Amino acid sequence: MRPKISIIIPCYNMGIYLQETMNSVSSCPNKNDYEVIIVNDGSTDIPTLELLKKIEQQGVFVLNQENQGLAKARNNGIKLAEGEYILPLDADNKIRHNYISESIKLLERDENIDVVYGNKQHFGEENKLVNVPDFDFTLLCTKNYIDACAVYRKSIWNKVSGYDENMPIMGYEDWDFWLRIALQGAKFYHINEVTFDYRVRSNSMIAETNKNYHTILNYMLNKKELTVVNSIRNNVFEARRAYHIKNSKEYKLGKLLLMPLRWFK
């Protein structure tokens, strides 16, 4: 019996957290509905390698490869996926027990839905509930508010040839992916509840990614297929600038000073 969802977990030296991640997956009911593919992206630390070996002996498929980065690791795992739906899961995060079943229900009930995403709970170095908005393409053009931990149809991944493996610096592969599939007509559905737990770490990849935000963003916006994204961003930021100018003290003072002049017209 083929699984409905393939959970893809790239792992690079994350043995300290991986067992928690796997425990969260194991808590999900209807185990025949999903498979787990762990992509060992060239891990070097002994605890991670030992845990991966143990997990593999328990029947979980582990794909071992040289270190090739997050996008390549995800793509390689998805190529082997048997599920109709894909759930990328970082090796230090955790999913809620009903996320898989709820996603399957939504995707099978409405064939027009391509992506299912939800809210997240921060834990670790920060404890915070993060409620994200319903899908808004204009908003997505200005910021990456949909986490990689979303369930989507494998067919839409095929349509755009997967994650971009040529990003100059790791980070925002998911943002780039969401934009490209949205431009291909993908429909997003927001579950207004917590679907996963996001571990906040000061030494995480996203912390490094934020330092290189402009480099990565320039690479994305220079893509021909994302030209419209650049135009939308410019329009949004220009509208915001005009709004702030109009509501600034200087603007209001200028209008006040010009009022007497209108009396003489």
> What integer pLDDT is reported at residue 230 of this predicted model?
83
pLDDT digits (tens, 9 = 90+) for 134-148: 999 999 999 999 999
Q: Residue 22's CB: how many other CB atoms inside 10 A?
A: 21
Average pLDDT over residues 175-199: 97
> What integer pLDDT is reported at residue 246 of this predicted model?
56
> What integer pLDDT is reported at residue 216 of this predicted model?
87
Q: What CA–CA distance (Å, rounded) separates 34 from 254?
A: 64
**Contacts of residue 164, Cβ cutoff 8 Å, sequence gap at least 6:** 71, 173, 176, 177
Burial of 38 (0-12, 13-18, 19+ CB in 10 A): buried
The sign of the CA dihedral 11, 15, 20, 23 is positive
Report if pTM > 0.85: yes
pLDDT digits (tens, 9 = 90+) for 188-225: 999 999 999 999 987 666 666 667 788 888 899 899 88
pLDDT digits (tens, 9 = 90+) for 216-245: 888 998 998 898 998 888 887 677 666 555
> What integer pLDDT is reported at residue 257 of this predicted model?
47
pLDDT band of residue 256 (cuts 50, 70, 90) is: very low
pLDDT digits (tens, 9 = 90+) for 4-40: 999 999 999 999 999 999 999 999 999 999 999 999 9
Asked if residue 34 lies in contact with residue 7, where contact means CB atoms within 8 angstroms, the answer is yes
Distance of CA 230 to the CA centre of its chain: 20
pLDDT digits (tens, 9 = 90+) for 77-128: 999 999 999 999 999 999 999 999 999 999 999 999 999 999 999 999 999 9
The architecture (CATH level 2) of 5-222 comes to Alpha-Beta Complex (3.90)
> What integer pLDDT is reported at residue 202 of this predicted model?
78
